[in-house]
Structure 1
Amino acid sequence: MSEPTFDAVVAARHSCRAFLPEPVADEELLEVLALAQGAPSWCNTQPWQVHLVTGTATAAFAAYLSAAVHDEAPTPDLPGPERYEGVYRDRRRASGYALYASLGIERDDHARRGEQMLRNFSFFGAPHVLVVTTDPLQGVYGAVDCGGFVSTLMLAAASRGLGTCAQAAVAMYAAPVRRFLDVGEDRQVVCAIAIGRPDPDHPANGFRTERASSDEVVSVVTAPPGHVDAGRGPAGA
């Protein structure tokens, strides 16, 4: 069987929210992690560190986090979005509505919506979870580099038929994450990534989010803007 093309991997990858319970072999997980190390980073700093939670530790971590979410306030290391406006609000709502529709959850069924949200902290049933941290001294671009690593890892996993879901919700509770994993204050929790084999029959895996066309996000510049003197740089320089 031929290897999937990069185009096919990108098209196939999606956020998996239901996993089969059978674990993935350690060798396969480590191979995916090794491939993700090829992600680019600022001056090759590679600020990410990864905790791979597996075996009985996964269920223990899920139980610990679920209890913390019930008893503690959020303690994110990195600020979340200030608010969602315009197209970002629309895309976020469309994604949530598509998920709830796939599960038969009505928009006003806040109890079931809350239950689905809490599945973040049991990693949607994944047998493994990765926690990605960054060096706070690397600032915003350290987190940006970690995002590149996360994307590369998810595509590497998809190329091997594995499902992933990047989870900012887990990072919102950085304090209990840090306690459970014994992560020092010299690291910031960026996100978790649930990983395993997708459950192909679960309805949560049966929908796909829409993507903006490149025309909506790309501005092609073929000549200097009118306010710039091409020979001198920005106006007034």
Structure 2
Amino acid sequence: MAGVHLDQLLADRYSCRAFLPDPVSDDVIDRLFALAQRTPSWCNTQPWQVHLLGGEALARFGKGIGERVLTGEQVADLGLPTYEGVHAERRRESGYGLYSALDIAREDREARGLQMFKNFSFFGAPHTAIVTTDKALGTYGVLDCGGYVNTLMLAAQSLGLGVIAQGAIAMYSDYVRDFLDLPEDRLVVCAVSFGHADESDPANAFRTSRADVASVVRRIDS
């Protein structure tokens, strides 16, 4: 997809929730992370660090975090979000749209739970990048890591890959910390799973909406 314009990448990118098992080649992975490394950051601090899991390591990580989800409370380095007002409405719209694409009834809690639990098998992705930030940089480090995640996802799209950012993994930061043997000065931000999208899966036909620009941007000229 070399030469694709940014507007096309933004239009085409979506959260991939079904992957083919085939791994991505090493040269494409190297290119992906080289592109992401060009992300701008506050005072060029580049606070992101990445643990890239695949193969047996990813299988062990998925098994362990899945067990942790079933047996323990959420512990998030960055705190747990609260969804209110329009943010809660957008979250519900997104969830209902996904369930509709998968033919899951709103009242079918079991099927919804099983779909949610696919987060912890990374939707079948062969690669998962765990992104952490430097604790001392506080909010600015987290903000920069958000920029890095966005660049990583657009770079993946430009290379013809499916990709999804997964905040769900960060809701169990204590397990992630233990598995990766992270020092106390690193905070878990999220995971980014990627690979070749399974275009035949109905989960990948779903698209979220976007707020109108006029509801977001307020121009002040005088």
For Structure 1 versus Structure 2, the TM-score category normalised by the shorter chain is over 0.9
How far does the alpha carbon of each residue in 1:156-213 deviate from its partner, in whole angstroms, 9 at most, with x for none?
0000111111111100001111111111211000000111111001000001000112
| 1:41 aligned onto 2:26 | no
Letter in structure 1 aligned against 2:201: H
Cα deviation 1:46-84 (Å, max 9, x = unaligned): 110000001221111111111111122111000122x22
Q: Give the C-alpha shift of residue 114 in structure 1.
A: 0.7
Greater CA drift, 66-75 or 139-148: 66-75
Whole-Å separation in 2 of the counterparts to 1:209 and 1:2 = 25
Following the alignment from structure 1 to structure 2, what is the Cα–Cα distance between the partners of residues 2 and 155? 12
What is the Cα deviation at residue 3 of structure 1?
2.5
Instruction: Give the corresponding residue for 1:28.
Output: 28
SS at 1:67 equivalent:
helix
Contact 2:98 2:206 in 1 (8 A): yes
In structure 2, relative to structure 1, the CA distance for the partners of 1:2 and 1:133 (3 Å cut) is closer
Shift of 1:17: 0.4
TM-score normalised over the length of structure 2:
0.97
Query: What amino acid maps onto 2:218 in structure 1?
Result: S
SS at match of 2:193: strand
Q: Within 5 Å, give how 1:79-158 maps onto structure 2.
A: 79-81=79-81, 83-158=82-157
Change (3 A) 1:2 1:176: closer
C-alpha separation in 2, matches of 1:178 and 1:63: 15
Q: Which consecutive residues of structure 1, in runs of 5 or more, have no partner in the other structure?
A: 224-237
Amino acid at match of 2:122: F
Higher relative contact order (CA 8 A, sep 6+): 2
**Structure 1 stretches of at least 4 aligned residues deviating more than 4 Å after TM superposition:** none
> In the TM superposition, what whole-angstrom CA distance separates every residue of 1:132-178 from its partner, at most 9, and x where no partner exists?
00011000110000000000000000001111111111000011111
1:87-125: CA deviations, max 9, x gaps? Answer: 111111000000111111111111111111111111010
In 1, the alpha carbon distance for the partners of 2:64 and 2:144 equals: 29
Query: When the two structures are aligned, how many residues end up with a matched partner?
Result: 222
From the two aligned structures, give the one with the greater helix fraction.
2
Equivalent residue, structure 2, for 1:14: 14
SS of match in other structure, 1:165: strand
Q: RMSD between aligned alpha carbons?
A: 1.1
Equivalent residue runs for 1:149-188 within 5 Å: 149-188=148-187
TM-fit CA distance, 1:24: 0.3
Q: Distance in 2 between matches of 1:54 and 1:3?
A: 29
Please tell me whether the aligned partners of residues 2 and 158 of structure 2 are also in contact (alpha carbons under 8 angstroms): no
Letter in 1 for 2:36: A
Aligned identity (percent) is 54
Q: Which has the larger radius of gyration?
A: 1
Gaps (5+ residues) in structure 2? none
